[in-house]
Structure 1
Amino acid sequence: MIRPFSTADMDAVLDVWLCASIKAHSFIASDFWHSHLESMRTTYLPGSEAWVHEKNGQVSAFIALQGNRLAAIFVSPVLQGSGIGKSLISQAKSLRDHLNLTVYTANSASVRFYKSQGFMIVSEDMDAATNEPELTMSWVNSHSTSNALPSIGA
């Protein structure tokens, strides 16, 4: 079941985020992710439109949107590959006509996943916080009245 995030979900969402971040980003020291826990709790999640996926009464995944930016999507590592990520992407697509995201180039599994969900690579830059190359990807609803790709800052 997908439902809106509530503050009662915070600890469970942060646990999913930390475990999934460390697993997906083995090329970045785990200390980096631990050092960002508090800003996730106090700034990042409260400033996002977030949705959680619940399985057997437990938060198993979440997605966070900031405007048209898909700011985060994380699935508990033990449940990855079970379709939860696709469900969360579908939720985001139902809420927006276009989405942008960034993903580390070295996170090839996520790059493949986003491509399978209709996202296209629009640019490559360097993430200043980690000095890792990252891709900007975009998805546009094919039924949208606009045929042009949105600007990345939109």
Structure 2
Amino acid sequence: MSSITIRQANTSDFSGLTEIWFNASVKAHDFIPEIYWENNKVQMQNTYLPMSEVYLAEDTTNIYGFIALVENTIAAIFVSPEQQGKGIGKLLINHAKGIRNNLELNVYQQNTNSVRFYESVGFKVLEETLDEETESKEFLMRWERSF
């Protein structure tokens, strides 16, 4: 893998980012039926990504993952399943930390790998919430810059 850079995404990237989102979501959320993710693909590409500030991690040949911010909320962070565990998620989080003083996100409690990942990069659980659409319990997690 050559050196990975982060840049702001543009609309021509959204189709590829939606595929990364879909593949990573199906892998990480086996407790939610795949049809849920399938049914949200169009919305992800045409609504959620365009309304977010999106940064992607790439090298000269591939896009490996992305982070989508809505103000101080991480609306999405996904890395291609075959590229997970290689530090790409951490690069994306660190990029977001460089441009924000605090960040919040919701993560499914059953997605224990992601919960551990967020804790490892400084996020703390604030409260337990419920994603009404999937009826799955979530954690609201937050990171704050210490001055």
Q: State the match for 1:33 in structure 2.
A: 37
Determine the C-alpha separation between the residues in 1 that align with 2:68 and 2:129.
22
Taking structure 1 as the reference length, what is the TM-score of the superposition?
Answer: 0.91
Determine the C-alpha separation between the residues in 2 that align with 1:137 and 1:14.
24
Gaps of 5+ in 2: none
1:139 to 124, 143, 146: 143
The percentage of counterpart residues that share the same residue type is 45
Instruction: Give 1:55 shift.
Output: 2.9
Q: State the match for 2:61 in structure 1.
A: 57
Deviations 1:32-86 (A, max 9, x none): 0010011111110000000011134211100000000011100000000000000
For 1:28, the aligned partner's letter is I
For 1:136, the aligned partner's letter is L
Taking structure 2 as the reference length, what is the TM-score of the superposition?
Answer: 0.95
* 2:26 matches 1:22: yes
2:7 to 3, 23, 48: 3
Q: Which runs of 4+ in 1 moved over 6 A?
A: none
**SS class of match (1:81):** coil
Gaps of 5+ in 1: 144-154
Matched residue count: 143
Instruction: Give 1:130 shift.
Output: 0.3
